[in-house]
Structures are given as structure tokens and as C-alpha cells.
């Protein structure tokens, strides 16, 4: 069997999203990639999704590997990748430290730890990476290219990955909670549920698009808020309940939990 450029070990949602992004980027062709998945039913689905990509139950000979399995399975996946010839390993498993990855890979293999988030599933992810003991700038650039196919990538010290997890890793859930609350509030004010869902979804999409263009949330908030108007009345209630402090506490709690898990 010929050597594969990159073996994706784990064919779940995130592994499939990265594989799709890599193919769409034009940097990889299907014949240079493989995906390793233990579940037979999932392998059948991956074959349908990615024509021309090798879909296997075992790791093939490979130059590099992306580890997209559950944290408890990472060490075994890294061992399998290295045994198959991988000289670079990128792990997207939450909470698995560079020390653990380096120990599993051995001194001759470069490892990169990444923390992506779920918007990568729609090509709008935010990821952070940190390199292991032997990872070079070239290794980090390789990891950036893979993760960058489904969003943006920031290079951080590993010590900052826990804070990144508390903000960007857990952040989608904060936004979804706000969407749920806003939808419930709209329904409580008499708007039909299906209308409320459409309105809230569109306002979040529009607001995020504006923020991406203007990059100044404070100014955008002020632009919407007329003195004595409806928005000012709503924001005053957020201030009464100290929304900013609540958000700060939530991020701190998520970051602390990430440190505990690591």
C-alpha cells in the first residue's frame, strides 16, 4: 500500500469536517488522504461523502496523521499513527496535553495540539494551536493549513489553550443559550414559536456579519441604542443583572475546568 499524505484517525463530525475542508482547499486530492474509522456503518457513510478517499478500519502507511478521536483513545491512536510511519501528528482532542502527546509519539515525531470549535462544521471555525517539544514552524504551518481549511487559526502558548477553550471552545454554547433565551422571550411576548426561531436566527446571523465587517462591538452597540429608547431599556436590565460579570465568570469556570481535565 502506498504512503498516504495524511490519515484522519476518527471519522466523526469534526474529522469529516476537516477532511471536507482539506479537499475543498485544493491543497489535497482525494487519493492523498485516508480516514480511519472503527464503526462499519460510519465507514459506509464516509465512502459516500468522500469519493476517492481511502476509508479504512486500520491506519495505513502515512506521512502524517490528524487525531480526531475521544480523549481516552488518543494515546492508542498516536501509537498507531507513528507505527504506520507518521512523522507529524495533529491532535484535536480536548484536554490532551502536549506532554501526553509527546510521550505517546516519541522524540522523532512532531506533535501539534489544537483546540477547534464546532462552527468548523460549517467552515467558520476558530481554532488555536500549540507545538510540542520538537515541532517546528513548518509543522505549525502544516497544522494551520489543515485547520484553516474550515476557519481561522491562532498560534498560542499551550498555557493559553485553556482560556481559549473557555472562550472559543465553549463559546458556541453560550451563543446557543442566548438564542434559546431570546426565542423563549419572544414567545412569551406573543410571537409564534416558528416565527420567533426564524427571527432570532436571522438577527444573530446579521449581527455576527456586521461585527465581522466593523470589528467594534462597543460602537455597534452604541449605534443601535438611542437614549431613552427600547434598546436602552433592554440593556438596562442586563446591566442590573451584571451580564458582563456573568460572562466573565462563565469563561473563568470553563477555563478552570479545561485546566482540570488537562
pLDDT the model gives residue 12: 96
Query: Is there a single domain that holds both residue 13 and residue 123?
Result: yes
pLDDT the model gives residue 94: 87
Does 169 score more than 80 pLDDT? yes
Does 262 score more than 80 pLDDT? no
The share of the chain scoring above pLDDT 70, in percent, equals 99
Domain end (from 109, 126, 160): 160
pLDDT the model gives residue 147: 98
Query: Could you tell me the residue range of the domain that residue 136 belongs to?
Result: 4-160
**Number of independent structural domains in the chain:** 2
Domain end (from 160, 195, 215): 160
Does 226 score more than 80 pLDDT? yes
Q: What is the CATH number of the domain that holds 39?
A: 3.40.50.720
Nine cell digits for residue 252: 473563568
pLDDT the model gives residue 244: 97
pLDDT the model gives residue 126: 97
Domain end (from 106, 139, 160): 160
Q: What is the CATH number of the domain that holds 177?
A: 1.10.3730.10
Indicate the average pLDDT of the chain.
96
Question: Considering just the CA atoms, what is the radius of gyration of the chain in Å?
Answer: 21
Does 1 score more than 80 pLDDT? no
Angle (CA) 109-112-113 rounded to 5° is 135
Amino acid at each position: 500500500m502506498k504512503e498516504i499524505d495524511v490519515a484522519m484517525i476518527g471519522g466523526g463530525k469534526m474529522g469529516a469536517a476537516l477532511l471536507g475542508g482539506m479537499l475543498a482547499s485544493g491543497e489535497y486530492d482525494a487519493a492523498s488522504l485516508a480516514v480511519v474509522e472503527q464503526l462499519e456503518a460510519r465507514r459506509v457513510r464516509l465512502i459516500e461523502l468522500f469519493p476517492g478517499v481511502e476509508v479504512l478500519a486500520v491506519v495505513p502507511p502515512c506521512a502524517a496523521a490528524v487525531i480526531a478521536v475521544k480523549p481516552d483513545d488518543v494515546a492508542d491512536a498516536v501509537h498507531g499513527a507513528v507505527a504506520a510511519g507518521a512523522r507529524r501528528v495533529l491532535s484535536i482532542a480536548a484536554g490532551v496535553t502536549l506532554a501526553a502527546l509527546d510521550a505517546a509519539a516519541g522524540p522523532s515525531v512532531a506533535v501539534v495540539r489544537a483546540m477547534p470549535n464546532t462552527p468548523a462544521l460549517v467552515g467558520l471555525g476558530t481554532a488555536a494551536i500549540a507545538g510540542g517539544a520538537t515541532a517546528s514552524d513548518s509543522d505549525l504551518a502544516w497544522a494551520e493549513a489543515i485547520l484553516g481549511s474550515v476557519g481561522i487559526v491562532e498560534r498560542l502558548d499551550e498555557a493559553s489553550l485553556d482560556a481559549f477553550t473557555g472562550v472559543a471552545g465553549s463559546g458556541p454554547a453560550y451563543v446557543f443559550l442566548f438564542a434559546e433565551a431570546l426565542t423563549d422571550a419572544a414567545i412569551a411576548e406573543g410571537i409564534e414559536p416558528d416565527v420567533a426561531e426564524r427571527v432570532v436566527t436571522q438577527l444573530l446571523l446579521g449581527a455576527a456579519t456586521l461585527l465581522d465587517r466593523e470589528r467594534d462591538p462597543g460602537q455597534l452597540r452604541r449605534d443601535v441604542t438611542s437614549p431613552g429608547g427600547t434598546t436602552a431599556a433592554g440593556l438596562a436590565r442586563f446591566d442590573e443583572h451584571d451580564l458582563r460579570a456573568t460572562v466573565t465568570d462563565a469563561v473563568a469556570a470553563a477555563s478552570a475546568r479545561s485546566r482540570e481535565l488537562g
